[in-house]
Structure 1
Amino acid sequence: MPDHYEVILRSITSFGLLLIGARILGKQTISKMTIFDFIASITMGAIAASLAFNTSIKFHLTFLSFSIFVAVVFLTAVISLKSKRGRKFFAGDPTIVLQNGKILENNMRKMRYTLDYLNQQLREKDIFNIEEVLYAIIETNGTLTVLKKPQYRYVTRQDLMIPEMQEQRLAIELIMDGEVMEQNLKQNNLSHKWLQLELDKRKLSKKEVVYAVLAANGNIYVDTYKDHIISPIDKE
């Protein structure tokens, strides 16, 4: 087989293997990762890249290596799911860096976590005054979780004793890209007649609608292909 045909075949196979591996290992591998997830993703990518273009390595050996690695990662995920000790070993523990508004220098030093980086992550959470913080914790995926002191927290409807509207469900997409979402209507006991009545109220037909969604509060948002905006700000 000519080299370029082999590379094409290997590249397609490599992509397929990565996709299958990601589906087996679950969404956690592609979300904000722990150290172990990061190592797993990097290694799987490296093996897949070798499979794609390194024709000097036999195909079945690379495939075997990739399969073994996916199996090992899957096994560690199962162990982490069933064992608290396993979870702690593979993912580690969260680390408190601020407690009762006081910086824990020893914990920061162990992680080689600087004050500059701490301030940066606090600013990303709209905290510019460190005195507002009651607790700050570095999670196992490297993100910073913050609990503010009570006097600096946002006021909620419950704090103000304001009655809230009950929301029993998620928003329901009715029309997307001009097509009626048949499955969503059926699952939520909504009829085409009801949908048409709602569109009639707005003097619209289904063909004019690009997106329609029934919000949890009962309101319907409808967006049409014709926006009737004379001068769009983001026109390209």
Structure 2
Amino acid sequence: MKEPVQPFDWERIVIHEFPWLYLGEVALRTAFMFLILLTALTVSGKREVRQLSIYELVLVIGLGSAAGDPMFYDDVPLASAVVVFVVMMGCYKLATRISDRNETVQKIVEGQPVYVIENGCILINNFSQEDLSQDELFADLRVEGIEQLGQVRVAILEANGQLSLFKFKESDAQKGLSILPNDLMRRSETIRQSGEYACANCGHVQTFTGPVNQFVCPRCRHSEWTEAVQ
């Protein structure tokens, strides 16, 4: 039968039943998990990071667990938590210093800004390489008050997952693909009458002079269209 916990048993609180050398193993485990977290978040992409740098997110995840367990579990010694904090902060300082001084490492780990929209059209080659769906992109644009892509001069997906938006002046806005949900539902492969239509995939605007069926977009090779709006 397990003995009851004795309050303020300092040996249990500080080191529990572990030998002091075990703290060296804790340090090694912490450094290893720092690298695992850093790798996982690097692979997961920008949308998982959002606002925090990837190093800050690794630090928050790692320290959150280290801080929480000793608060609740009597068999988690404080000394282990202290070692975790020290090693995590050391790894964080070392990693950020290396990243700041080495542009290649910075690009691999943190990523770099990517142009996703230019002159009212989605840059398909760039966009397809990011972990960002069209629905997510359009949602971010709608939050910024954009109704159709012809209003957008440039949109850049930053390294932290945020979307930087640069609009045309109101007088310079072009016709473009409506990004309002109800309008997007009207996409079709059949053009029934003359007019300007926007590719539902990339936003390219094409003028049609009569009925057309399954016309392939010259920019992205998709064939769904919806009426372009001003």
**Normalised TM-score (structure 1):** 0.48
> Larger RCO: Structure 1 or Structure 2 (Cα < 8 Å, ≥ 6 residues apart)?
2
Q: Which protein has the bigger helix share?
A: 1
**Normalised TM-score (structure 2):** 0.50
